[in-house]
Amino acid sequence: MPDTSAHRSARVSPGGRRTPKDLRRWRQYLADERAEAAVYRDLAGRRTGEERAILLALAEAEGRHAAHWLDLLGPDVGRPRRGDWRTRTLALLARRFGSVFVLALAQRAEARSDYATEADATPTMAADERIHEEVVRGLATRGRNRMSGTFRAAVFGANDGLVSNLALVLGIGASGVAQATVLLTGIAGLLAGALSMAAGEFVSVRSQRELLAASTPDPRAREVLPHLDVDANELALVYRARGMSPDAAAEHAREVLAGLDTPPGADERPATGGTPPAGAAPVSASAGAPDVDEHEAVGSALGAAGSSFCFFASGALVPVLPYLLGLDGLAAVLVACALVGLALLATGATVGVLSGGPPLRRAGRQLLIGFGAAGITYVLGLAFGTTLA
């Protein structure tokens, strides 16, 4: 339990009394800490290994913070209160999904902590909350890396489909052509754009994976290490080529060659921490690099292509729906804009949640960009329609 003795004078009013406002604030902090601890326990229940242990440790830390507010409240703890609506929503999502979205929301929740300016919270608690944000950021990053390639293609595909086909449909419709022509143009734009996006994503991701493969150390290089001259060898050049200084590279090369003589298991480290044996990974990346599979972060070429095709097509279908349902003229334009606007808000907010940024700001940005592009095309369509008339 945190030491609260240094903050006894700060937790009461100037007259020395515990005001009702103080009690309400402490009770809300207590409810929020309990709710956050429950969120982390729910997330831990869906994970195994190291991630589970980390989440349980976070829940334990939130429990210590709750104990601090219990100590301050004493006999005035009152009836249990509910956490704020954000924490309750997070708890609901954690119980239902337990996905990277929940971790991204938890990251934002930790960033909103008021303990840095709260006189009745200890400096330790404020420091804990700041570190918790980084811990959750690290856990969320693992999930983002696992889905980043496909997710990027999905978001870009949906957004491009929404914006490009809305602009196409509005531009053609504003020129005064028949409804059937607008509908045919929208469907053609959907198919052409979806196929183009899929092909582009496939080539892009495949090329990126091939570049990564060309830059990945060849594991067969380890086989020749026992035959190198200990006093004169080129192993140090490998590490110098990766950015080490000449002295550090030479020292590391000596450690690697010396490790070859170490009996198996003699220099093993526990799986939970420490530095791996010197000879265990002579062709690995330089020390201190994050443990991230770059190929995993890029994603698969087929996955990115399929995701891009489906999401572009689904996005491009939205502005065509009013014309498929028989609407035309201004009514079709207004309905298409309304549907696309809602979809743009949704994709922007989703990106905001996953990136740890403000969802509303991201949603507004997406909406402005999309409607800006469509508006310009609509004005051009009006101009060409007038000219042709």
Q: Do 344 and 367 touch, CB atoms closer than 8 A? A: yes
Residue where one domain finishes, among candidates 103, 122, 143: 143
256 three-class SS = helix
Read off the pLDDT of residues 66-92 as tens digits, 9 standing for 90 and up. Answer: 999 999 888 888 776 776 666 666 666
* Cα–Cα distance measured from residue 307 to residue 197, given in angstroms and rounded to the nearest whole number: 10
- pLDDT given for residue 187 in this prediction: 93
For residue 344, the enclosing domain spans: 149-213+300-388
Whether 371 is in a domain gets the answer yes
Whether 291 is in a domain gets the answer no
CB neighbour class for 63 (10 Å; exposed up to 12, middle 13-18, buried from 19)? middle
Between helices 20-44 and 85-96, what is the axis angle to 10°?
Answer: 10
Side chain identity at residue 3, one-letter code = D
Q: Please check whether residues 162 and 110 belong to one and the same domain.
A: no
Maximum Cα–Cα distance across the chain: 88
Whether 290 is in a domain gets the answer no
- pLDDT given for residue 316 in this prediction: 93
Q: Please check whether residues 46 and 124 belong to one and the same domain.
A: yes
Position 372 pLDDT exceeds 60: yes
Q: Please check whether residues 180 and 76 belong to one and the same domain.
A: no
Whether 135 is in a domain gets the answer yes
Position 10 pLDDT exceeds 50: no
- pTM to 2 decimals? 0.53
181 three-class SS = helix
Whether 294 is in a domain gets the answer no
- pLDDT given for residue 91 in this prediction: 61
Residue where one domain finishes, among candidates 226, 250, 284: 284
278 pLDDT band, cuts 50/70/90, is: very low
- pLDDT given for residue 105 in this prediction: 73
Q: For the chain, how many structural domains are there in total?
A: 3
Whether 289 is in a domain gets the answer no
Q: Please check whether residues 129 and 12 belong to one and the same domain.
A: yes
* Cα–Cα distance measured from residue 64 to residue 36, given in angstroms and rounded to the nearest whole number: 12
Q: Please check whether residues 45 and 130 belong to one and the same domain.
A: yes
Q: Please check whether residues 14 and 128 belong to one and the same domain.
A: yes
Q: Across 49-53, 101-105, 286-290, which has the greatest mean pLDDT? A: 49-53
Q: Which long-range contacts (CB under 8 A, 24 or more apart) does 89-95 make?
A: 90/35, 90/36, 90/39, 91/35, 91/38, 91/39, 91/42, 94/39, 94/42, 94/43, 95/42
- pLDDT given for residue 2 in this prediction: 42
Whether 311 is in a domain gets the answer yes
Q: Please check whether residues 134 and 166 belong to one and the same domain.
A: no
Whether 249 is in a domain gets the answer yes
Residue where one domain finishes, among candidates 284, 310, 337: 284
Q: Across 11-15, 242-246, 323-327, which has the greatest mean pLDDT? A: 323-327
Q: Please check whether residues 252 and 331 belong to one and the same domain.
A: no
Q: Please check whether residues 253 and 209 belong to one and the same domain.
A: no
Q: What is the full DSSP assignment across 324-386?
A: HTT--HHHHHHHHHHHHHHHHHHHHHHHHHHHTS-HHHHHHHHHHHHHHHHHHHHHHHHHHHH
Question: Sign of dihedral through CA atoms 166, 172, 176, 181?
Answer: negative
Work out the number of other CB atoms within 10 angstroms of the CB of residue 149.
24
Read off the pLDDT of residues 87-137 as tens digits, 9 standing for 90 and up. Answer: 666 666 655 555 666 777 777 777 778 888 888 899 999 898 888 888 888
Q: Please check whether residues 200 and 222 belong to one and the same domain.
A: no
Q: Please check whether residues 318 and 184 belong to one and the same domain.
A: yes
Position 281 pLDDT exceeds 50: no
- pLDDT given for residue 207 in this prediction: 82
Q: Please check whether residues 115 and 229 belong to one and the same domain.
A: no
Read off the pLDDT of residues 162-191 as tens digits, 9 standing for 90 and up. Answer: 999 999 998 888 878 888 899 999 999 999
